[in-house]
């Protein structure tokens, strides 16, 4: 499956700014599509298009996780699942508010690719006997609003917001890789692949014209992320 390639949109019409009429009609379509995706993200089991990174034999030769280790891994994967719910909502909000066809399509593609991560996290949660966050609808609605707000300020701002979000996610995943139980090879493989994908998304968003966000915005994003991850680990 291809990954985000923001600069590679070659057709001129994909780079054009949409007229108010086009945005109005496109907005109606996107609201319907977005509502469908929102309901599926929050209440159904997602299906990945790429193979499950954990594979069938990731734990070959490994001792089974203890109860405490499984719970610790489960907390981390619940946080990651909540983060992927937020990613779905952010991209959908940004797509709805996009000013150009190119950025709208890129955000829609990003949403599809992040769906793999959502499916992988949910599958691992089920393997660990853990549940996803009970606040999933809250994470989705809040992130959708943030994405739409970023889009309102323009496509360069929206792409910059995407890039900074992904860079913070990479740092978050690096922390999880350090804290995972040594024997949890399955979760490790999932997180490692997610980290690769998120880093690529950030680079492509900046390459497409995303701006560097002000320091106070980055700090606010980081603070919001800490509140979400701390809460999602427990609820």
Predicted pLDDT of residue 4: 46
Q: Per-residue pLDDT tens for 34-56?
A: 555 555 555 566 778 889 998 76
Predicted pLDDT of residue 32: 52
Q: Which 3 state secondary structure label does DSSP give 17?
A: strand
- In DSSP terms, which residues pair with 100 in a beta bridge? 17
* Element of type H or E holding 73: helix 67-97
d(CA 51, CA 116): 9
Q: Per-residue pLDDT tens for 94-133?
A: 888 878 887 787 777 777 778 899 999 999 999 999 988 8
Predicted pLDDT of residue 11: 38
Query: Hey, what domains does the chain have and what are their CATH numbers?
Result: 18-44+70-234 (1.20.1260.10)
- In DSSP terms, which residues pair with 17 in a beta bridge? 100
Mean pLDDT over 61-74 rounds to 84
Give the number of other Cβ atoms within 10 Å of residue 228's Cβ: 21
Predicted pLDDT of residue 79: 94
d(CA 98, CA 216): 23
d(CA 32, CA 207): 30
Q: pLDDT higher for 12 or 21?
A: 21
Asked if the model's pLDDT at residue 199 lies above 60, the reply is: yes
Q: Per-residue confidence at 82, pLDDT binned at 50, 70, 90?
A: very high
């Amino acid at each position: 499956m291809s990954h985000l390639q923001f600069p590679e949109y070659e057709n001129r019409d994909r780079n054009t700014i949409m007229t108010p009429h086009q945005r109005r009609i496109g907005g109606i379509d996107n609201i319907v599509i977005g509502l469908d995706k929102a309901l599926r993200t929050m209440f159904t089991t997602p299906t990945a298009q790429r193979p499950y990174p954990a594979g069938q034999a990731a734990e070959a030769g490994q001792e089974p996780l203890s109860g405490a280790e499984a719970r610790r891994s489960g907390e981390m994967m619940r946080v990651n699942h909540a983060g992927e719910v937020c990613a779905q909502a952010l991209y959908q909000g940004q797509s709805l508010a996009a000013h150009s066809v190119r950025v709208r399509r890129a955000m829609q593609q990003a949403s599809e690719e992040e769906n793999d991560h959502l499916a992988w996290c949910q599958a691992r949660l089920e393997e660990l006997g853990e549940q996803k966050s009970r606040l999933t609808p809250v994470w989705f609605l809040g992130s959708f609003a943030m994405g739409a707000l970023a889009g309102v300020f323009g496509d360069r701002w929206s792409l910059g917001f995407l890039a900074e979000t992904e860079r913070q996610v990479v740092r978050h995943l690096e922390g999880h890789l350090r804290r995972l139980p040594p024997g949890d090879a399955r979760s490790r493989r999932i997180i490692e692949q997610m980290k690769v994908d998120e880093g690529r998304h950030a680079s492509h968003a900046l390459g497409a014209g995303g701006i560097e966000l002000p320091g106070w915005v980055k700090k606010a994003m980081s603070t919001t992320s800490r509140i979400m991850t701390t809460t999602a680990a427990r609820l």
